[in-house]
Amino acid sequence: MSTEKKTVKDFKIEGNILAPFTPFKENGDVDLEIIPKYVDLILKYNIPNVFVLGTTGEGATLTVEERKQVTEAWARAVDNKPLTIIAHVGGANLRESMDLASHAETVDGVQAIAATGSVYYKPKTEDVEVDYIKQIAAEAPSLPFFYYDIDFMTGIKLNVSSLAQLATKVIPTFRGIKHSSKSIASMVNCSMIGGVQVINGAVDQYLAALTCGMEWPVLGVPCTAPIATKIKEAYDQGDMKTAREQQEYLQRLYNLRDSVGGGNGVLRAIVKLIDGIDFGRSRCPIPYPTQDNIDTLKQGLIDLEFL
Amino acid sequence: MSTEKKTVKDFKIEGNILAPFTPFKENGDVDLEIIPKYVDLILKYNIPNVFVLGTTGEGATLTVEERKQVTEAWARAVDNKPLTIIAHVGGANLRESMDLASHAETVDGVQAIAATGSVYYKPKTEDVEVDYIKQIAAEAPSLPFFYYDIDFMTGIKLNVSSLAQLATKVIPTFRGIKHSSKSIASMVNCSMIGGVQVINGAVDQYLAALTCGMEWPVLGVPCTAPIATKIKEAYDQGDMKTAREQQEYLQRLYNLRDSVGGGNGVLRAIVKLIDGIDFGRSRCPIPYPTQDNIDTLKQGLIDLEFL
Amino acid sequence: MSTEKKTVKDFKIEGNILAPFTPFKENGDVDLEIIPKYVDLILKYNIPNVFVLGTTGEGATLTVEERKQVTEAWARAVDNKPLTIIAHVGGANLRESMDLASHAETVDGVQAIAATGSVYYKPKTEDVEVDYIKQIAAEAPSLPFFYYDIDFMTGIKLNVSSLAQLATKVIPTFRGIKHSSKSIASMVNCSMIGGVQVINGAVDQYLAALTCGMEWPVLGVPCTAPIATKIKEAYDQGDMKTAREQQEYLQRLYNLRDSVGGGNGVLRAIVKLIDGIDFGRSRCPIPYPTQDNIDTLKQGLIDLEFL
Amino acid sequence: MSTEKKTVKDFKIEGNILAPFTPFKENGDVDLEIIPKYVDLILKYNIPNVFVLGTTGEGATLTVEERKQVTEAWARAVDNKPLTIIAHVGGANLRESMDLASHAETVDGVQAIAATGSVYYKPKTEDVEVDYIKQIAAEAPSLPFFYYDIDFMTGIKLNVSSLAQLATKVIPTFRGIKHSSKSIASMVNCSMIGGVQVINGAVDQYLAALTCGMEWPVLGVPCTAPIATKIKEAYDQGDMKTAREQQEYLQRLYNLRDSVGGGNGVLRAIVKLIDGIDFGRSRCPIPYPTQDNIDTLKQGLIDLEFL
């Protein structure tokens, strides 16, 4: 629930997580009014968590002030509804991330935070990265902290399980990792640490991630939630045939996405086609599909029975 | 069995596969006399297949003539024993690979071949790579052909499932992929093709690979065979808890290996410690662990109860 | 001069350019009071231009508000002194860069701006990147605009000469490129465009850059200005022997820097040792050399006769 | 001259070096009969050195036996003509390279050898690489040895100047580096060693390389020899304007090459168009330009006044 924070120590994410788009107006301004509609859609899909302003949420294209407004808008929209908000506060640099963490601490309804490291000046060792996130986490002492590892976007190539082991020792609020890097060996090593929740950020690997001990996935589009749920249920019952079939179904959707260029713009178009909500176009330099590509997408979604 | 070739069309690898070391003498020459002892050890571990002269087998450090001798030595050593030989014929270039394929065709006891693409001049498209392997496969018309994808060694970054789809159309003997690249999405896509057997070449991902439809792993050291078997059996029974525990056990072994530098030299030292066979040192530039590292390895293997 | 802006069309950087450090206090806050002292030092070294808040200036570690304050502090410190300020406004995203460009336009004393592209979401084509910088440049219509290409920091791998050719057509204030990427072929191609000033951002390649038609270098530390001047003068006189000797002297300094870990922290320590100004330590995650490393640096600077 | 070997200690390459194509027949076999014609063309262009069977020579696509035949054919064709042969003996592995070096030692007319490191198993340290090439060099004790550094083909990323410093101490025949990697800083450092001749393998950087102390370039096509000579002469006279103009002219040729896909196939087509010799097509997987691309090339060569 949004108004009642779990204690930091006991905090655990339960259930699917959506990484929601940030809605934009025609002129590129943030469109806060779409967010309540998105909350309704998310709940309709029975998704109990949102990871706000990460890579799918395009937090990196927003000013710090806009990020605060968007985070608050999510908290207002959720109100008492059963949706846990994890706010991504990783940003261009330490000072801005600390500012965002400090802000998140004050927003009733935010139940956890997450952050990447510094992208322009990359950390060279796990120690430095832990020092960096420690300062962010300290600004939100009542909020569980998750390290956001996504090497193919940040260019940060660290040993995440070593980092997590260090972090558990020196960051009181450290609770886990959003593991979006693709390495299976790293996932296994992270899961073996104990006391660290590892969240699957690469849903094209969800079933594989389950075998590594990661329970819940971060989804880019709501329509994948029922599929992720089927994968999880089948996996829990040891019905690997069904689990695999559903993962293949997901893969067909991603293949379709990639066939028209991939990226967040395509994901926005998919949700518009399936669920009828227009989140606007991403900010430059994230491209939006052409009308031809949207037509291809539409036919592909029909073929895959999403439409 | 080694003397009776399955028909190409029906060929399917069944069971664990070992990628055996090539034994070297003190002076660096190939030591063919160790091979029969290795066959006995492999059979003792109930491993029914060997993938000869690939990355663990260090085929790339051998002359063409040495490769032929080693392949023949394996065939002689196997004789009528229940060990299927897949010979890697990928090499420096097309002509040498064609020569090796043509030779493999003549060696009684070789039941399939595999090949990487060209490493120095890399293929830029899937079409070119299929054209390349087609010419290799044509030299061994009675042997099933597997494409060997291992991007982190070759630097070849192609869409392997697209390649396999093309290959099935134009290469009569094309039977599958040894998928050592790490991408889970690629594994899922390859497995979805149908009629293409996908072999797991990255055993640190074996359980994840099973969920992608890959049945059998290629192992670098015999002592992992019982663990791989437990993973497979647990997986087949839907006992994911056991499967995951065994994969974590494997991961601990790889973590130990990497803690002393990793690489084939460390694997050679592991087998020497566990099974008592000395395969000699790899050729330059593949390093061998120092005595200090070997001591660390030994204690680690005791801790993990391999010793 | 700082108070009299050249017209955009005629703007051309003349002379060496320093990329000054941003001074920090013990607590990590920006220390604006050091800036006037730095201006005096820069003028003592006869350096006529500063490129403020780029990679050496660590602009990416500052909040937007801090960047505005630092830019203003430079303008105040320069006052009527003969120092041209080029303000780097590239940042985490388009909105913040537009904000910084709009601010720069209002700061009397800023004579040009520069910007990198977006680092987290990377542009995939030259068109998209030109669209991106066009919107930044439009916020400062009276200031000449330079594209800042530095692929090893941003991860943006575009054809810079193609980009510049596009930019000259659609961005009225586009004047040039700060070319910090290392490719000589790209430098030659950029210089061949005509009407585009190409600034050498990789001073370890200064002499090579001169042969590509790039006239002026961006220096990380003031003590290299006399050397750069000697290189330029020798080059202009066709005295390639002297030019080469001086470039080798520079290289010895960089080798020394790299021998203790490299990076901005080492550059800060070098200037402190040579010129006695303490700019404080960089913000996390940029490391500062240990005392041992500083001792090594000191001896090395003595050996190279900088001390 | 070909028949009279200089002493190893005094050996120095003087003048432009051509990296000649290996001619192929329609069926892909090596066509030794074209080589004498190529020698005549090379001499017509006043090129005094050939670097045989390197990257442009596509040695990596030949069997060891073919490489020996080609090397011998060059020696026969050169006979007493003023053309120095440097034979590339770097290959798939140490044993084959040692074999090739040993063979080169016996071929009257070969005056030096060169070798890359191992491509499939890459050396991790400079020490290991020196150990590797030491064993190759030892097979040809009367021939000067050059290390062939070309990181974008081999994937070997070592500090070449450190390697060369080590090599001068332990390899009696070590004479220099063919520096085809692009790093200017590395070139400067290599040239500063003293007693090590550094050859410019990336002719799109020839003028820049001259400023680093590298005297002679390796050319992929004979028609660039007069341009390289003009660059060198202008450079030696301190006429940097002319030197730069000629380098830009070279760059325009490379831009043309790259506009139709680049690679050795395009270079073969260029020489066929300009000099009328057909060297056949490269072996798979090196592509050859389409007829459309050849038409584009032809028009481009006319525009650049090569035709």
Q: List pLDDT tens digits, range A163-219.
A: 999 999 999 999 999 999 999 999 999 999 999 999 999 999 999 999 999 999 999
The closest alpha carbon to D156, from D133, D176, D136, belongs to D133
Q: Is a pLDDT exceeding 80 seen at residue A29?
A: yes
Q: Report CA-CA distances (Å) from B42 to B16, B281, C45.
A: 11, 20, 73
Question: Which pLDDT does position B224 carry in this prediction?
Answer: 98
Partners of D183 on chain C (C-beta within 8 Å) are 182
> How far is residue D58's CA from residue D282's CA, in Å, rounded to a whole number?
8
Q: Is a pLDDT exceeding 70 seen at residue D243?
A: yes
Region B269-276 average pLDDT: 98
Partners of A118 on chain C (C-beta within 8 Å) are 60-61, 284-285
pLDDT mean by block of 10 residues, chain C; 307 residues: 64 98 98 98 98 98 98 97 98 96 98 98 98 98 98 97 98 98 97 96 96 97 98 98 98 98 97 98 98 98 97
**Per-residue pLDDT tens digits for A70-96:** 999 999 999 999 999 999 999 899 999
User: Chains A, C in contact: 3+ Cβ pairs under 8 A?
Assistant: yes
C-D contacts (CB, under 8 Å): 78
Q: Is a pLDDT exceeding 50 seen at residue D175?
A: yes
What distance in Å separates residue A291's CA from the closest CA in chain C?
18
Question: Which pLDDT does position D180 carry in this prediction?
Answer: 98
Question: Which pLDDT does position C93 carry in this prediction?
Answer: 97
Residue B88, SS3? strand
pLDDT band at B9 (very low <50, low <70, confident <90, very high): confident
What are the tokens at A138? Answer: 């300290």
Give me the catalytic one of C68, C178, C230, C232.
Answer: C178
Catalytic status, residue A178:
yes
**Axis crossing angle, helix D94-106 with helix D64-78, rounded to the nearest 10:** 20
Question: Which pLDDT does position B5 carry in this prediction?
Answer: 52
Question: Which pLDDT does position D6 carry in this prediction?
Answer: 60
> How far is residue A214's CA from residue A178's CA, in Å, rounded to a whole number?
10
Pairing of strands D84-88, D49-52: parallel
Percent of chain D with pLDDT over 70: 98
User: CB distance from B204 to chain A under 8 Å?
Assistant: yes
**Per-residue pLDDT tens digits for D97-112:** 999 999 999 999 999 9
- Any chains having at least 3 CB pairs less than 8 A from chain D are B, C
Q: Reading across the β-sheet that carries C218-219, which strands appear in turn? A: C197-200, C174-179, C145-149, C110-115, C84-88, C49-52, C17-18, C218-219
Percent of chain D with pLDDT over 90: 96
Region A208-236 average pLDDT: 98
Chain B, 76 to 105: residues with Cβ < 8 Å from chain D are 91-96, 99
Nearest to A211 among B185, B188, B211 (CB): B211
Task: Verify whether the Cβ–Cβ distance C121 to A61 is below 8 Å.
Answer: yes
Question: Which pLDDT does position D1 carry in this prediction?
Answer: 41
pLDDT band at B6 (very low <50, low <70, confident <90, very high): low
Which of C159, C183, C189, C211 should be substituted to probe chain D, the one whose Cβ sees the most D Cβ atoms within 10 Å?
C211
Nearest to C285 among A60, A64, A128 (CB): A128
Region D178-184 average pLDDT: 97
What distance in Å separates residue D141's CA from the closest CA in chain B?
20
Task: Verify whether the Cβ–Cβ distance C123 to A285 is below 8 Å.
Answer: yes
Catalytic status, residue A148:
yes
> How far is residue C93's CA from residue D84's CA, in Å, rounded to a whole number?
57
Q: CA-based angle B244:B247:B249, to the nearest 5?
A: 110
Give me the active site residues of D, please: 148, 178
Percent of chain A with pLDDT over 70: 98
Give me the catalytic one of C148, C206, C230, C232.
Answer: C148
Q: Is a pLDDT exceeding 50 seen at residue D234?
A: yes
Q: Is a pLDDT exceeding 60 seen at residue B37?
A: yes
Region D211-215 average pLDDT: 96
> How far is residue B255's CA from residue B194's CA, in Å, rounded to a whole number?
35
Q: Is a pLDDT exceeding 70 seen at residue A2?
A: no
**Axis crossing angle, helix C126-137 with helix C94-106, rounded to the nearest 10:** 40
pLDDT band at A125 (very low <50, low <70, confident <90, very high): very high
Query: What average pLDDT does chain A have?
Result: 96
Partners of B240 on chain A (C-beta within 8 Å) are 210-211, 235, 238, 240
Residues in chain D: 307
Question: Which pLDDT does position B7 carry in this prediction?
Answer: 84
Q: Report CA-CA distances (Å) from C199 to C14, C18, C176, C206, D187.
A: 10, 12, 8, 10, 22
Q: Tell me, yes or no, if the pTM score tops 0.90.
A: yes
Query: What average pLDDT does chain D have?
Result: 96
User: Chains C, B in contact: 3+ Cβ pairs under 8 A?
Assistant: no
Question: Which pLDDT does position C129 carry in this prediction?
Answer: 98
Question: Which pLDDT does position A7 carry in this prediction?
Answer: 84
Question: Which pLDDT does position A6 carry in this prediction?
Answer: 59
pLDDT band at B83 (very low <50, low <70, confident <90, very high): very high
Partners of C57 on chain A (C-beta within 8 Å) are none
Partners of C188 on chain D (C-beta within 8 Å) are 204, 247-248, 251
> How far is residue B213's CA from residue D131's CA, in Å, rounded to a whole number?
44
Region A92-118 average pLDDT: 97
User: What is the amino acid identity at position A300?
Assistant: G
**Per-residue pLDDT tens digits for D32-57:** 999 999 999 999 999 999 999 999 99
What distance in Å separates residue A95's CA from the closest CA in chain C?
7
> How far is residue D120's CA from residue D156's CA, in Å, rounded to a whole number?
10
Task: Verify whether the Cβ–Cβ distance A211 to B185 is below 8 Å.
Answer: no
Chain D, 223 to 242: residues with Cβ < 8 Å from chain C are 235, 237-240
> How far is residue C249's CA from residue C280's CA, in Å, rounded to a whole number?
27
* Residue A57: other Cβ atoms inside 10 A: 24
A145 membership: H or E segment, kind and range: strand A145-149
> How far is residue B26's CA from residue A252's CA, in Å, rounded to a whole number?
53
The closest alpha carbon to C8, from C125, C142, C101, belongs to C142
What distance in Å separates residue C62's CA from the closest CA in chain A?
7
Q: Is a pLDDT exceeding 80 seen at residue A270?
A: yes
ipTM of the complex: 0.96
Partners of C123 on chain A (C-beta within 8 Å) are 285
